Chain A
Amino acid sequence: MVVKESGHSRAPRLRGLSRALPVTPALVILVLFLAGPIAYCVYLAFTDLQLTGQAESSFTGFDNFRTAFEDDAFLNAVWLTLVFTFLSSIVGQNTLGLALAALMQRASKPIRTLTGGIVVTAWVLPEVVAGFLLYAFFRREGTLNAILDWLHLPSQNWLFTLPILAVSFANVWRGTAFSMLVYSAALNEIPKEITEAAEVDGAGGWRRMWHITLPMIRRSIGTNLMLNTLQTLSVFGLIWVMTRGGPGNRSQTLPLFMYEQAFQKSMIGYGTAVALLLLVVGSLFSLVYLRLLRTEV
């Protein structure tokens, strides 16, 4: 088990065990509080456990999942989760993050520092505070409409007319810093000679970006997309604060749908089935992420 030679005379097996001993506290906590709930999640998803009125729950097989796929509210949540993830993570955070990182390579230092500082502050702020700030920004009496009025453009009640767009923008505001930092690090690792050689050869900015820079940072793009998507899949507080999933269920993504079913409608079993589906989707992304990392390790 242990490869390293050392002067100890204990049997290798015993030494292996004693060396693994420090992992125990972490392992116990992970098994009890993380693996345990996940296993329990798998079990509960196949029961009809409810919060009220029912002493015993019974095993119902795939009923919860069948119900889900026939439930318009569930399908609506799936669709909104896709829209939210696509707009905020794939298009917004990823593209804006890359653009900011690329611009920062060329910008002057004070402006780079200023912009970076502001974007990172939005990222460091607690989730709920970020939610309130953007709630204030998008409300009818809020900043966005004030600016639109000033520009003589039509204003509207964003959180009512386009709630999913508003929460997606909020998530871009909050999450872009991560991509920006990842891409800044990746761009800094590209040797200067390569871009300079291309410049001397007469390749313009866009062509250099497309043919040289992007292929060189494609691994960062892959891992960043995975992490953004996983993070976005589990956003709850931001949307909860801004819209509570409403109006109606027009910004109700899967985590909010799960919460509503489990607690406001007291159907823990059904809520857990939704949670399990979310967990499975997350696991798939996580596996892809692992594969991307493995090619690099």
Chain B
Amino acid sequence: MAARTTRNTRRANRRYAADASLLFVAAAFVLPLAWVVLSALDPHAGLKVKLPDGVTLDNFDAVLKPDVTYTPMLNSLILCGGATLLTVVCAALAAYPLSRFRSRLNRPFLLTIIFATSLPITAIMVPVYALFVQVNLIDTMQGTIFFFTASQLPFAIWLMKNFMDGVPKELEEAAWTDGASSLQSLLRVVLPLMGPGIAVVTVFSFVAMWGNFFVPFMLLLSPEQMPASVSINDFFGNRGTVVYGQLAAFSIIYSTPVILLYVLVARKLGGGFALGGAVKG
């Protein structure tokens, strides 16, 4: 009895210690985030975290203009939306035979895919630039979309295959005996059953591209094609002194879609949703 009580107290003490440590880390992590939220509402925002001198939405008003926000956001949407669509369609098609049919090519192909998943894409941006200049794809949306797709595809195929493996094969075999082709059974039977898996691949690809800076920074040149990840740089340099409040407001607008998407998917599937396929193998 006494032993159990001491163990319970010990456990409670340990919980307090853990709570206190976590709160400390949370406080350290939240400071930069607090800056962006508070500064966006502050008419006299500076570089340090402080309570706003009166709350205002002027910063949002100032950036919600076609050339500052709408065009870059639309460009981001076209780039990432297009590349995500292409990625998901190609990945679903490619994952199907890998998941369904046994072939001695599957294993080498999958190993190559995992290998490509972890290559540092940053490293090949210089040759990609040189190549795109040669074939006239530089400064084009479609060229950037294709490269984005290629960089995301290995991981997307790998994730998609793992999700597809979770759909029981018996259901398709019934469709096959009824004379359905592989494509028909993929579209009618398999894909409808793996909705959450497709959602994960879609959101993960979209979020990764939305936040990517280096790819559009290298492959797009004309200002009117710049996505938000690159145009945010304009708050420095070109426009003279930096208006930190507006920079913060723009950062919030630009970050909102990916945070919402993440919350949506994480809520549905539990935290760390995309890691199952990536880390466990």
- Footprint of B on A, CB under 8 Å? 1-4, 6-7, 16, 18-20, 22-23, 25-27, 29-30, 32-34, 36-38, 40-41, 44, 49, 96, 99-100, 103-108, 111-112, 114-116, 118-122, 124-130, 132-134, 136-137, 139, 141-143, 145-146, 173, 178, 181-182, 184-185, 205, 220, 223-224, 226-227, 230, 233-237, 240-241, 255, 258-259, 262, 268, 271-272, 275-276, 278-279, 282-283, 285-287, 289-290, 293-294, 296-297
Contact = CB atoms under 8 A, between A and B. Distances in A.
B70 interface: no
For the residues of A in contact with B, the DSSP-based class is helix
Contacts of A134: 32
Nearest to A184: B272
Given A25-B94, A29-B153, A37 B247 contact: no
Contact of B48 (A22, A103, A136, A240): A136
Contacts of B50: 146
Contact of B47 (A114, A122, A143, A241): A143
B281 interface: yes
A232 B239 CA distance: 31
A146 B34 CA distance: 14
A78 to B, nearest CB: 14
A234 B127 CA distance: 15
B6 interface: no
A275 B127 contact: yes
A119 B272 CA distance: 12
B127 A26 contact: no
Interface residues of B, number: 98
Contacts of B213: 126-128, 236-237, 240-241
Contacts of A226: 118
Interface in B205-248: 207, 210-214, 217, 228-230, 232-233, 244, 247
Residue in B19, B116, B127 whose Cβ sees the most chain A Cβ within 10 Å: B127
B177 interface: yes
Contacts of A285: 118
A258 B123 contact: yes
